[in-house]
Amino acid sequence: MKGIVLAAGRGSRIGDATTILPKPLLEVGSRRCIDFALDALLARVDEVIVVTGYMAEAVEAYLDTRSDAGRVRAVRNTELEAGNLTSLRAARALIGGEPFVVTNADHLFPPDMYTRHFIPAEGLTIACERGRPILDDEMKVVEREGRLAAMAKTLSEFDGAYIGTTSVGSAALGAYWQAFDHVAQEADLRSASVEMVLDRLARQGGDAPVPCWIEGLRWYEVDTPEDLAIARNGLDS
């Protein structure tokens, strides 16, 4: 199994912090943002592919300094103004026909994320949370009979929120990439996201993802200066 870390975006919402460093390299505690994704994935997968873009050279140089650099590869997404669907497309050739877990460089999960909280399976599973307030800009999910029925930020009725990591097991590869190709052909690539693939599968029915509801997970998403401050304070406490 491979891990995919989407780390190509400009991170414009976080403001001036990314004029010097790309968001994946911002310090949180004693680590960089991207370290959280890498450490968690490498506890489960054989290799991690990092999709770089904005300030790619800096991110790639940092990856080379890690002690596990031999298990981490970088590939560039040159479409910096496009949605993150193009980042996964950039990694597709390196993924080949292998199962994979895809996540974002700005999702700071604990090191046992994929060995305790969200364990990859043969099918298609997505990490979700409920039982807490769901913010307006979160990716909301609807579950029906144990499978994803809809996913969008604009849903007015929902069961919880997707927290940005998906496992595509060997049994789900064909259906996933078929849905991926449909979205890539039909959607506006300037805003096309990997979540649109999951929503398409949900609306098709039979191959819909299975939500994995996670409780008690201490994690952070770093989108804004406020998010960065919360993550730094939380991990220092």
pLDDT in tens, 54-105: 999 999 999 999 999 999 999 999 998 899 999 999 999 999 999 999 999 9
111 φ/ψ angles, rounded to the nearest 5 degrees: -65, -20
Q: Which of 196, 194, 179, 132 is nearest to 159 (CA)?
A: 132
Q: Hunting for tokens 């994935």 — which residue is that?
A: 41
SS3 28: strand
Of 48, 68, 58, give the one whose Cα is nearest residue 11: 58
H-helix or E-strand spanning residue 60: helix 56-65
Give residue 39's pLDDT: 98
Domains annotated on the chain, with CATH: 2-236 (3.90.550.10)
pLDDT band at 41 (very low <50, low <70, confident <90, very high): very high
How far is 34 from 60, CA to CA, in rounded Å?
Answer: 11
